[in-house]
Structures are given as C-alpha cells and as structure tokens.
C-alpha cells in the first residue's frame, strides 16, 4: 500500500497534487510520502512484537536526512555501510547506539570514526577486517562490539547482482568456518562478540530461502553457545521484496516474515535485529518526469522523457521494472498501445521500458514511476552533466524540497583547473 492515488482524475501524493509540485519544483524530481514510510516501518516493528528487537533501516535504499529523521523519530535504528552513511545518520539525530555498521570493506578511518562517535555493533565480514578492528579499538582504549557475518550458502532466488548469501558471493565468512573464526575473535581483547549476522540478498519474494538460512543460524547459535560464546543478538539482514509490477503476485508481508522469524529463532531468546530498506522506502516514492517528445520510429514509437538513466538507473542496471503511470488519470476504457519509454542520454541503455502498453501521451504531459523511493536518488549521478534532481517530502497537505537541484554553475565550479592551463 502507498499514498499515491488518483483524485478526480489527478495523481496525488497524500493530500498534495503531484502536478502542483511539478509546477513549483520543475521536472524531473523524486517525491516521498511520509505516511507510507511510517506505515511500512511500523509493519515491520509490529511483525516482531513480543520479541526483543530493533528495526534498523538500511540507509543504502534512501539516505536523505529528512527520510532518516522521519524514521528515527518513529523508533528506527540505522544500518550503514560506509563512513559517509554513518555521518549522515548522526547528522539526522540518530545516536550511535542505534547504528549498525555493515559492509565488506570498512576502512580503518571509518572504523575509528564509528568507535569514537559510538556504535551499536560492527557486522564483521572477514578475518582481516576483524584484526584491523581489534587493533584500532585497542589503540583508542575501547572494545568494539561485533557480530560476525556468516555466509550460509543459500540461494536467495533473486537477481544475481543483489544475491549475497551464496558461497561464490563476496560477503561474510563461510558458515562451515564460523566456529573457528569465533574462537579467533574471542581471543582478541579489542573485540566483544555479541551475536551472529546473516544477510542473503535483496528483493526476495519467497520466504523459503529465509527459512533455510535462519535454520542454519539457529544451529550455529547452539553450537557457539556450547563453545562458550555469549550469543545474545541475531542480525538477520533485510531483503524482503516489493511488488514493482502491480499485475504480479504480491511478495510476502512483513507479518509473514515476522512469523517465520519467531518460528525458526524465537526459542533462542536472542534480541533480533532486521535491516529492511527497500520495503520501507521503495513504494514510498515516485519519480516524476515530463514528456519531451513522442517520436515515431521504424516499427516502434518512443516516449522521450526529461528523466534519464542517471536519475533512475535501476532499469539500465538490472532490467528492473517500474510501473509508469500518467499524472492525469486516463479515461476509462482508453486504448493503450506499445511504446518504448526512454530518456535523453546518448546511450541505448537509457531505456526505462520497451513496448510498454501506455495510454496516449503528448509533449508536456507528466508521468510518474512508481516504487522509486529505494535505490533511485541514492544511485543517481550527474552523467552527461545533468544536475541531480530534487527530492521532495510530502506530509499530509504540505511538501518541502529536501534536496534541491544544483545550478549548472555550482556543478561546473566544483572542478579545479590546474594553473598550467
């Protein structure tokens, strides 16, 4: 469910007409719904009711500070994967004890920043990282709380580029070596082992891979406790999918996921952490774009937009589907025809949809890409010297620009020309 609905033939974001935002801000732009962000966070929080738990929003999905503060004020922790994300979380008002630091390539500088600023835990991904973390913590006179990420070799049945739990992926310690690595960690005075971490991938639409992975985590918990380790926290990652294509069957609900967690891990008495990102932010956002031209080609027509692959790269990178709808609701029964929806960048990859069935549209019409709140703005770039597009947050009948569009002068003046030129 989201809060982007037609009213009297016009698309609204909560109680604000999308066309009104476009008139003030210009296109293209992202718009996020506060009500949808909060609803989805609370669904996860309620799904784990009865268990000691913390829902840590995966910032990589959407790291705008207004989004972070909205969720933090509702009680969310944060899952960060870089020093920059850590600094963003702190700037948004999130205390260090509610921040989990994940990622396979934490640098010593990033580790130091988090240790000095406060951290809930580091999710350690390798023995070399563990050694650097131990040495850095001891040099600062601190002890770093850690979980160790285990790779359970479970096929998440998702896109190859967002699968993280198979043996050939770069993430985590092979689960077969976990007891050995935990023994190493226990011997390092700069570390405090607090639990286990696992994350098998993103955009999962089936609970079975979770069941397999969590079953292995339960067995490992018992084995590590038998070895003398205090395992009091299980970080289960995120990855639950969203319905990008509305005509397809819906993925499992957070309540289904929560029931699975309780069934497979509830008997262990551990605090549970989960790290959803896409399901919280994905359907909470639209990208809105204007039609520049409608072009007739050889055997196919093209809808050319002012939004491009640098603004929303998922279709070019993952062949990802986004529903594309007109901002003015089409008349009932209007005939639709296949058309390629493309952007202005000089690459064939700048294609959002091929032969998509769309109602008639003209230059100047507005369209909205649904489910664009996650991995949209955060993955955007200034390719072709196109400015980063604005982000807008709606709250009831109010809206605010939470990232403005830079001017061309601002973009150009970031460059420095050497004195010999």
In this prediction, residue 172 carries a pLDDT of 83
Residues 43 and 164 in one domain: yes
> Is 420 a domain residue?
no
- Place 188 in a pLDDT band, splitting at 50, 70 and 90: very high
Provide the pairing of β-strand 29-33 with 53-58: unpaired
d(CA 228, CA 4): 52
Mean pLDDT of the chain: 94
> Is 421 a domain residue?
no
Residues 253 and 118 in one domain: yes
Residue 242's nearest CA partner among 187, 302, 285 is: 285
Looking at residue 95, the DSSP 8-state letter turns out to be -
In this prediction, residue 245 carries a pLDDT of 79
> Is 182 a domain residue?
yes
Residue of 187, 331, 346, 421 with catalytic role:
346
- Place 158 in a pLDDT band, splitting at 50, 70 and 90: very low
**Portion of the chain with pLDDT greater than 70, in percent:** 95
> Is 417 a domain residue?
no
Q: Tokens for 226? A: 């038998």
Distances (CA, A) of 49 to 170, 213, 275: 33, 22, 16
Distances (CA, A) of 154 to 150, 164, 317, 331: 11, 9, 24, 47
User: Of the residues 252, 280, 308, which one is the last residue of a structural domain?
Assistant: 280
| 388 C-beta neighbours (distance < 10 Å), count | 16
Residues 213 and 255 in one domain: yes
For residue 346, indicate whether it is catalytic: yes
**Portion of the chain with pLDDT greater than 90, in percent:** 87
Place of tokens 């004890």: 97
> Is 112 a domain residue?
yes
d(CA 74, CA 43): 12
d(CA 217, CA 121): 18
pLDDT for residue 166 is more than 60: no
Residue 56 β-bridge partners? 77
Please check whether residue 70 is in contact with residue 395, taking contact to mean a CB–CB distance below 8 angstroms. Answer: no
Look up the pTM and report it. 0.93
d(CA 271, CA 384): 47
d(CA 224, CA 40): 34
Domain that holds residue 271: 35-280
Place of tokens 């007409």: 17
d(CA 194, CA 266): 17
**274 phi and psi, to 5 degrees?**
-130, 155
> Is 418 a domain residue?
no
Element (H, E) at 4: strand 4-7
Q: Tokens for 212? A: 């397999």
Residues 294 and 381 in one domain: yes
User: Of the residues 280, 302, 336, which one is the last residue of a structural domain?
Assistant: 280
> Is 234 a domain residue?
yes
- Place 409 in a pLDDT band, splitting at 50, 70 and 90: very high
Q: What is the CATH number of the domain that holds 244?
A: 3.20.20.10
Residues 311-369: tens digit of each pLDDT: 999 999 989 999 999 999 999 999 999 999 999 999 999 999 999 999 999 999 999 99
Q: What is the CATH number of the domain that holds 326?
A: 2.40.37.10
Residues 39 and 164 in one domain: yes
Residues 101-137: tens digit of each pLDDT: 999 999 999 999 999 999 999 999 999 999 999 999 9
Residues 405 and 276 in one domain: no
In this prediction, residue 105 carries a pLDDT of 93
In this prediction, residue 159 carries a pLDDT of 45
> Is 395 a domain residue?
yes
- Sequence-distant contacts of 41-46: CB under 8 A, at least 24 apart: 41/71, 41/74, 41/75, 41/76, 41/280, 42/74, 43/253, 43/254, 43/255, 44/254, 44/258, 44/274, 44/276, 44/279, 44/280, 45/75, 46/254, 46/255, 46/258
Residue 247's nearest CA partner among 323, 335, 353, 316 is: 323
Residues 56 and 189 in one domain: yes
User: Of the residues 229, 258, 280, which one is the last residue of a structural domain?
Assistant: 280
Q: Tokens for 60? A: 């990589």
Residues 317 and 274 in one domain: no
Residues 94 and 226 in one domain: yes
Residues 29-56: tens digit of each pLDDT: 999 999 999 999 999 999 999 999 999 9
In this prediction, residue 244 carries a pLDDT of 86
**380 phi and psi, to 5 degrees?**
-80, 165
Residue 384's nearest CA partner among 414, 343, 342 is: 343
Q: Tokens for 73? A: 């004020």
Q: Tokens for 329? A: 């609701």
In this prediction, residue 235 carries a pLDDT of 97
Residues 307 and 343 in one domain: yes
Residues 268 and 128 in one domain: yes
- Place 200 in a pLDDT band, splitting at 50, 70 and 90: confident
Residues 400 and 306 in one domain: yes
d(CA 267, CA 222): 11
Residue 271 β-bridge partners? 233
Q: How many residues belong to the chain?
A: 421
What is the mean pLDDT of the segment spanning 54-80?
A: 98
Cα–Cα–Cα angle for 58, 60, 63, nearest 5°? 95
Count structural domains, the chain.
2
């Amino acid at each position: 469910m989201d809060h982007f609905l037609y009213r009297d033939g016009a698309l609204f974001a909560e109680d604000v007409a999308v066309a009104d935002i476009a008139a003030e801000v210009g296109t293209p732009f992202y718009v996020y719904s506060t009500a949808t962000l909060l609803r989805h966070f609370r669904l996860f929080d309620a799904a784990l009711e009865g268990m000691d738990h913390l829902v840590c929003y995966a910032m990589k999905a959407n790291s705008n500070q207004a989004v972070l503060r909205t969720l933090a004020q509702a009680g969310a922790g944060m899952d960060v994967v870089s020093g920059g994300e850590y600094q963003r979380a702190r700037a948004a008002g999130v205390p260090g004890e509610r921040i989990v630091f994940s990622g396979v390539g934490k640098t010593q500088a990033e580790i130091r920043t988090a240790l000095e600023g406060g951290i809930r835990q580091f999710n350690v991904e390798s023995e070399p990282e563990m050694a650097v973390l131990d040495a850095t913590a001891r040099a600062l006179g601190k002890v770093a709380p850690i979980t160790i990420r285990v790779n359970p070799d479970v096929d998440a049945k998702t896109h190859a580029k967002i699968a993280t739990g198979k043996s050939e992926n770069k993430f985590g310690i092979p689960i077969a070596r976990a007891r050995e690595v935990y023994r190493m960690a226990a011997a390092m005075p700069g570390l405090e082992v607090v639990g286990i971490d696992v994350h098998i991938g993103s955009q999962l639409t089936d609970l079975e891979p979770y069941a397999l992975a969590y079953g292995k985590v339960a067995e490992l918990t018992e084995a590590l406790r038998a070895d003398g380790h205090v395992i009091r926290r299980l970080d289960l990652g995120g990855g639950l999918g969203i319905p990008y294509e509305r005509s397809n069957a819906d993925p499992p609900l957070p309540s289904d996921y929560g029931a699975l967690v309780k069934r497979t891990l509830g008997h262990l008495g551990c605090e549970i952490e989960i790290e959803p990102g896409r399901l919280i932010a994905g359907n909470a956002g639209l990208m809105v774009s204007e039609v520049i031209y409608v072009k007739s080609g050889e055997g196919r027509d093209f809808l050319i937009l002012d939004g491009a692959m640098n603004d929303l790269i998922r279709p070019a990178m993952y062949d990802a589907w986004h529903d594309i709808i007109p901002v003015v609701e089409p008349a009932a029964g209007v005939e639709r025809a296949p058309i390629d929806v493309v952007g202005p960048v000089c690459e064939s990859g700048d294609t959002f949809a091929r032969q998509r069935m769309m109602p008639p549209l003209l230059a100047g019409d507005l369209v909205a890409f649904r489910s664009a709140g996650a991995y949209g703005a955060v993955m955007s770039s200034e390719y072709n010297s196109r400015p980063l597009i604005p982000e807008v947050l709606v709250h009831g009948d109010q809206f605010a620009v939470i990232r403005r569009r830079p001017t061309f002068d601002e973009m150009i003046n970031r460059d420095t020309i050497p004195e010999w030129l």
